[in-house]
Structure 1
């Protein structure tokens, strides 16, 4: 679906600017942003007249309003948008609170990431009961410009996804950093270790984007019984899955407590 409707983003920090960049490429009917400074996002050619400082003025002009301010700032945010579709990508702010903030019964709670600027984000979302079929179509089209998307039906999972996919590269970068530090400890020059690990994760991401699930890749390496198998089995024996789960649970808990 073409973005044949007007869109406004309240908040243009890292995530808001990334979503704005993705949407701008899709050529919506109009795209506005609102922030306290009145500064345009760092997007070439973004029209200065489409940058506002008043969230209500933005809501009045748009069919779809995206809330993208920090959770702490959301406590003081209110707009009067009872006839608008309101989409939030704010961490930790529940559906019921979104209706209070916007006075709209048609609210969607989502999570995305700055990878949206490269159309590489994954953006799951959940809808309130009042959301219409047209609203759902628009939401899918909007998030498809940012990468991939799914509607989910358990609001608690949005907090999980906030931990899992929100902080790109986050946990993936932690794994890469550990590998690079090991190589350096073994005498590899830091710049060489950095280049090798970056290329490894670039190739891995491309290979896992299509084809078998990651679990199948792991099992294939174990079944091959080569050098990688020895390393993967050592990680499993050391409780690697449990450590990752522990980190994700801590981040999910923080998402549920942040607002």
Structure 2
């Protein structure tokens, strides 16, 4: 039975990944150790055998697989020898080489889930170091599939870009939604009504997009061809060059991801 230890497992991302994996049986409660500052993280009640600790050293000693789910700026406080173990990182800005040097590890997987993991709707790209085994990769695939969809990729440059595209993506959608709500308020709509309307719009629109056989570009063209009110709005957005600020935002986020933690 694979023994998993998650450093930072009490944080929102750690729990968002662990609870679906526990529910699906990817990891057994008795095979999981979670470290946190309090050693008493709520949410694991259905799995009373989950061990909780303040000691990362004890966690690592008990684990075959150690997952790092902390902020990159907190990494310097974690001094462990993880040689011989599989190390899985869900941190941005910390490269395979940096992880190998810090923790004396050779079998490493880097992954970039997003906030939708708590709804089992994350898109999680991941890549493996050359020494990661087929069994290591199979475990990572099963683990991240429990919280959404996964995609193995080949390079850290791709992972940096996906950190922007899908890792940061939920926040970008929230920014777009907030802009729509703010515009509605300026037109006299009460804020709570505007917010409820836009939340439902994003839920419905995302569901339609996910289930459509058309590409997003084809959907846009369908509305443009219809030449109605939606086309008028799309044409105005295109005239304002809506694509440029979106591309700039993705480029900036990807550049920040590529600025490794050691060079902040």
Q: Distance in 1 between matches of 2:232 and 2:48?
A: 56
Corresponding residue number in structure 2 for 1:140: 141
C-alpha deviation, 1:62, in angstroms: 2.1
Q: For the structure 1 residues 41 and 8, does the alpha-carbon distance in structure 2 shift closer, same or farther, using more than 3 Å as the test?
A: farther
Task: Indicate the SS of the match to 1:165.
Answer: helix
Corresponding residue number in structure 1 for 2:183: 182
Task: Indicate the SS of the match to 2:167.
Answer: coil
Q: Distance in 1 between matches of 2:116 and 2:58?
A: 28
Corresponding residue number in structure 1 for 2:222: 220
Give the alignment partner of residue 17 of structure 1, picking from 1, 15, 18: 15
- On the 8 A contact 1:24/1:31 being kept in 2, the answer is no
- On the 8 A contact 2:24/2:146 being kept in 1, the answer is yes
TM-score by length of 2: 0.91
Corresponding residue number in structure 2 for 1:149: 150
CA deviation map 1:108-130 (0-9, x unaligned): 11111232122111110111110
TM-score by length of 1: 0.92
Q: Distance in 1 between matches of 2:115 and 2:236?
A: 34
What is the root-mean-square deviation of aligned Cα atoms in Å?
A: 1.7
> Mapping of 1:86-125 within 5 angstroms?
86-125=87-126
Q: Distance in 2 between matches of 1:58 and 1:214?
A: 45
Q: Distance in 1 between matches of 2:224 and 2:64?
A: 52
Q: Distance in 1 between matches of 2:47 and 2:167?
A: 26
Task: Indicate the SS of the match to 1:149.
Answer: strand
CA deviation map 1:61-80 (0-9, x unaligned): 22221101110111232322
- On the 8 A contact 2:39/2:53 being kept in 1, the answer is yes
C-alpha deviation, 1:49, in angstroms: 5.8
Corresponding residue number in structure 1 for 2:86: 85
Task: Indicate the SS of the match to 1:112.
Answer: coil
Task: Indicate the SS of the match to 1:42.
Answer: coil
C-alpha deviation, 1:168, in angstroms: 5.5
Q: For the structure 1 residues 123 and 41, does the alpha-carbon distance in structure 2 shift closer, same or farther, using more than 3 Å as the test?
A: farther
Corresponding residue number in structure 2 for 1:173: 174
Q: Distance in 1 between matches of 2:173 and 2:148?
A: 18
- On the 8 A contact 1:111/1:124 being kept in 2, the answer is yes
- On the 8 A contact 2:115/2:170 being kept in 1, the answer is no
- On the 8 A contact 2:44/2:50 being kept in 1, the answer is no
Task: Indicate the SS of the match to 1:251.
Answer: helix
- On the 8 A contact 2:20/2:120 being kept in 1, the answer is yes
> Mapping of 1:25-104 within 5 angstroms?
25-27=23-25, 28-29=27-28, 30-47=31-48, 50-104=51-105
Corresponding residue number in structure 1 for 2:2: 5
Q: Distance in 2 between matches of 1:43 and 1:220?
A: 47
Corresponding residue number in structure 2 for 1:240: 242
Q: Distance in 1 between matches of 2:102 and 2:79?
A: 5
